[in-house]
Amino acid sequence: MKDKVLKNNNRIHSKEQVFLDAFYFTFGFIISFAKISGMVAPFCLSFSMALKKRASIFSFLGSIFGISLFLSSDSLIYLFILSFGILVKFLLEPNDSLKNAVFCALCFILPYTVFIFMFPVGFGSLMFLYSQTIFCAALTALCTQTLKNFSFEFKDKIYNFLVFLILCVVVLMSFCGFNFNSFNLGRFVADFFIIQVFLIFDYSLAAVFGVVATISFALFTKDFTKFGVILSISGFFGGLFKKVGRFFQIFLFFSTYLFCCIFFGGFNIASLIEAFVASIVSLAFPKEFFSRLISKGKNFNDYESVSLNDKLSLRLKFAANMLLDLQDNIKRCADIMDSSSLKDINNIYDNVAACVCKDCGLNTFCWVKSYQDLVSAFCDVSVTLRKDGSVNEKTLPIFLQKKCCKVKDMVQYINFSYKEYLCFEQNKRRVNEARDIAKEQFSGIADFLIEMSDEIKSVKAIDSFNTNKILEIFKKNGVKVKNLFCFLDDVDRTSIDVYLNNILKKEKLEKIKEEICDVLDKKISYSSFIKAGDNFKISFFEETEFSIEFSVEQVAVGKNKYCGDSYQYFVDERGYAHIILSDGMGNGKRAALDSLMTCSTLRKFIESGFGFNSALKLLNLSFAIKSKEETLATVDSCTIDLYTGEARFIKAGATSSYINTKGRILRFNSKSLPIGIIQGISFDSEEVLLSKGDVVVMVSDGATACDLDWISDELKEISKKDTKYIAKHILDLAKQKEDKEHLDDVTVIAFKIV
């Protein structure tokens, strides 16, 4: 399994690396067009030098390719600078901020120094060269420091945010160099980007990116500065009316843009057309495209997240195996200690021989000449001890009464040794019971760790973007949330776990669910509230392919107020339906208590994340320690994946279950014992793939006391009826067929896949 995980991770990593190489090359190519007042700027050198070796080389190559397309006397020197940068990065591999900054400055200043010696320049040009060198080195240091732990959660870290803004400045400057007649690509990209910012976020970020656009335009050429100011104002007003809707926001943006163009003078029809086209494209653009892109961006290194989940999964399984090994070690040590201190009833007579017969004058006669008679007499003593608990001179065998000259001492030592033997046996039983309980605990916890490892491995990624949007929904509805997580599983299904201090009314929960559906653009369902201490948890999950039509009918035996059978039906946070039926020992209040404890405890275990393997073992353990008296109950359960229809039946001492699938009747029997009888419980399990229209009937043994086959015949005839009719019909027939000498409670559960 570990080799398979590593192989998958390597394949994902390889694809990701190809994408990253292409990205760095493309980015280097784009920023090579960034110019300040028409002159080539050193941005491509700074960003390429800040990257790690492989990424840096691809970025350098992209920049060299971009500059080579439009060679000039000014850009020729940059080819030498970038080539020198590749050589330094390849040979010396500087990685920390200071080294990258120093080498970046050297890569920039050394070729220029040679160039100045060959072609002398004035003082102003030297100062400009000096300022470029300082700026280039400082930008490299900033980028290196930030990219070490770069996160797409740029709002959380100021350095990440600064570098992101600088990247935006440089990219916009690069795009501004592309003109198609009067249509400028940089201005159009800025318009479109500002619209997306105020649609997704708010007016504050729109204003910030408006300032970014202004800086980009001003650095590129002073003639573009006013367009940056106009864009900032328009983006601010567009974001200000976020609650009104995207159509009105875009309309207000364009109207403000038109007004500002007239107000500031110098009306430019080309820039107005660019803003209009950006507005139309934004209206036609998929609403959630950038939202999902940002969400995926936050999980840019998804393969690393998957690897982390696999690592946690493997670690949990390793811990589970260690617990199982510990359980085996305890058993081996216990067996060795038991064998070294082995005692049985024969030790009584060894004790008598050592303490009474050793110095007796008849020792040779009894233990040599009459050994067989003596052994036979001691066997009779054992029978008496087990029957009466002690012996006296009159109950000793005739051989000992006539031949033993130390009868009183023998009786005393036999009784004393027998009491010692009984104490040893009692302590041994207690130790074995405690040992069995410990083994059951280890086994249950180990199973739980394995189940949790599988669940962790199934989580593909945390959807931070939608987590924040759903949090806003709860806040808007006045619900205080302690924690909220939105995540994707290994088949890209969305799940949401919400932790609250209070339970919510059904009406409010339905309203919140509808709003979540709108935000995620998915149909969402939710499981019932789970309470743990003072905390509540509710889980939302994508609407399932199937649902359950559920009905139950039950009747208590005779005039009993309590039915000895209990049941539970619920859907968990993963979209699994669980049906649990339990029959307590006997009938009446005591049986009802045992079956109720079984069903409710199993439900709590499962809702808390336990699987049936670990839940049944821990439940069996709780039965062992809850009472000195023997208590037991059957377990009959069915778990259905409502996305796929896969069903798993588990039985511990329960009677048969019946399935009508596509007109074919299946019967699932059980040979296992109920819980509470022995430690180390085993159960019967069977898996079936169910589809729409299939009907399942689960019954307590009161319905099958007379015969097991009649329910199959009835189910074949009535399976097209609704489940309420099916449950009631089978219950009525069971009461008619019941054995009057062995009456029992009857419960019939019928459910259909719809």
Sign of the torsion formed by the C-alpha atoms of 346, 348, 354 and 359: negative
Is 9 within a domain? Answer: yes
Among 412-426, 435-449, 471-485, 623-637, the minimum mean pLDDT is found in 435-449
Q: What is the pLDDT of residues 604-640, one digit of tens each?
A: 878 777 777 777 777 776 666 555 555 678 889 999 9
Cα separation, 547 vs 690, whole angstroms: 12
Task: Retrieve residue 80's tokens.
Answer: 């030498």
Task: Clarify whether residues 137 and 167 are in a common domain.
Answer: no
Give pLDDT, residue 268: 72
DSSP secondary structure code for residue 367 in this structure: I
Q: Which amino acid is at 553?
A: E
Greatest mean pLDDT among 295-309, 418-432, 687-701 lies in 687-701
Task: Clarify whether residues 661 and 528 are in a common domain.
Answer: no
Cα separation, 317 vs 511, whole angstroms: 41
Q: What is the pLDDT of residues 548-570, one digit of tens each?
A: 999 999 888 877 778 888 999 98
- Torsion region of 242: left, alpha or beta (phi above 0 gives left; psi -120 to 50 gives alpha): alpha
Of the pLDDT bands very low, low, confident and very high (cuts 50, 70, 90), residue 648 is very high
Indicate whether 96 pLDDT > 50. Answer: yes
Task: Clarify whether residues 625 and 556 are in a common domain.
Answer: yes
Sign of the torsion formed by the C-alpha atoms of 712, 713, 719 and 724: negative
Task: Clarify whether residues 638 and 740 are in a common domain.
Answer: yes
Cα separation, 677 vs 411, whole angstroms: 39
**What residues form DSSP beta bridges with 510?**
none
Is 104 within a domain? Answer: yes
Cα separation, 263 vs 250, whole angstroms: 20
Number of H helices, E strands in the chain: 25, 20
Task: Clarify whether residues 559 and 701 are in a common domain.
Answer: yes
Of the pLDDT bands very low, low, confident and very high (cuts 50, 70, 90), residue 95 is low
Share of the chain above pLDDT 70, in %: 75
Cα separation, 566 vs 579, whole angstroms: 11
Give pLDDT, residue 752: 93
Give pLDDT, residue 18: 77
- Torsion region of 8: left, alpha or beta (phi above 0 gives left; psi -120 to 50 gives alpha): alpha
Is 503 within a domain? Answer: yes
Backbone angles phi, psi at 667, to 5 degrees: -125, 130
Share of the chain above pLDDT 90, in %: 8
Domain closes at, from 132, 148, 164: 148
Cα separation, 442 vs 461, whole angstroms: 31
Task: Clarify whether residues 597 and 745 are in a common domain.
Answer: yes
Give pLDDT, residue 212: 79
Q: What is the pLDDT of residues 300-323, one digit of tens each?
A: 344 344 444 554 555 555 555 555
User: Average pLDDT in the 509-518 region?
Assistant: 87
Greatest mean pLDDT among 75-84, 170-179, 663-672 lies in 663-672
CATH number, domain of 501, equals 3.30.980
Task: Retrieve residue 279's tokens.
Answer: 């507005």
Task: Clarify whether residues 139 and 173 are in a common domain.
Answer: no
Domain closes at, from 501, 527, 542: 542
Domain closes at, from 542, 573, 593: 542
Q: Terminal CA-to-CA distance of the chain, rounded, Å?
A: 36
Provide the mean pLDDT of the chain.
75
DSSP secondary structure code for residue 605 in this structure: H
Give pLDDT, residue 299: 44
Higher pLDDT, 678 or 366: 366
User: Average pLDDT in the 445-464 region?
Assistant: 67
Is 163 within a domain? Answer: yes
Task: Clarify whether residues 159 and 272 are in a common domain.
Answer: yes
Q: Residue 266's CB: how many other CB atoms inside 10 A?
A: 10
Greatest mean pLDDT among 168-177, 246-255, 275-284, 504-513 lies in 504-513
Task: Clarify whether residues 560 and 493 are in a common domain.
Answer: no
Give pLDDT, residue 696: 93
3-state secondary structure 13-79: HHHHHHHHHHHHHHHHHHHCCCEECCEECCHHHHHHHHCCHHHHHHHHHHHHHHHHHCCCHHHHHHH
pTM: 0.51
H-helix or E-strand containing 633? none
Closest CA to 261 of 283, 243, 276, 240: 276
Give pLDDT, residue 445: 67
Indicate whether 40 pLDDT > 80. Answer: no
Q: How many domains does the chain have?
A: 5
Higher pLDDT, 120 or 378: 378
CATH number, domain of 618, equals 3.60.40.10
Is 323 within a domain? Answer: no
Decide the pairing of beta strands 664-668 and 635-641.
unpaired
Cα separation, 220 vs 189, whole angstroms: 15
Give yes or no for a contact between 653 and 672, defined as CB atoms under 8 angstroms apart.
yes
As a whole number of angstroms, the longest Cα–Cα distance in the chain is 138
Task: Clarify whether residues 656 and 604 are in a common domain.
Answer: yes
Task: Clarify whether residues 559 and 672 are in a common domain.
Answer: yes
- Torsion region of 521: left, alpha or beta (phi above 0 gives left; psi -120 to 50 gives alpha): left
Is 719 within a domain? Answer: yes
Provide the CA 114 distance to its chain's centre, in angstroms.
Answer: 60
Greatest mean pLDDT among 77-81, 443-447, 564-568 lies in 564-568
Of the pLDDT bands very low, low, confident and very high (cuts 50, 70, 90), residue 9 is very low
Q: Residue 469's CB: how many other CB atoms inside 10 A?
A: 18
Cα separation, 178 vs 189, whole angstroms: 11
Domain that holds residue 21: 1-148
Give pLDDT, residue 627: 53
Give pLDDT, residue 583: 87
Q: Residue 112's CB: how many other CB atoms inside 10 A?
A: 20
Task: Clarify whether residues 421 and 489 are in a common domain.
Answer: no
Is 692 within a domain? Answer: yes
Is 317 within a domain? Answer: no
Q: What is the pLDDT of residues 235-292, one digit of tens each?
A: 877 777 766 677 778 888 888 888 888 777 655 787 788 888 888 888 777 655 555 5
Higher pLDDT, 395 or 15: 395
Give pLDDT, residue 156: 43
| Cα atoms in the 13 Å half-sphere on the side-chain side of 670 | 25
Q: What is the pLDDT of residues 576-609, one digit of tens each?
A: 899 999 888 877 788 888 888 888 888 887 877 7
Of the pLDDT bands very low, low, confident and very high (cuts 50, 70, 90), residue 2 is very low
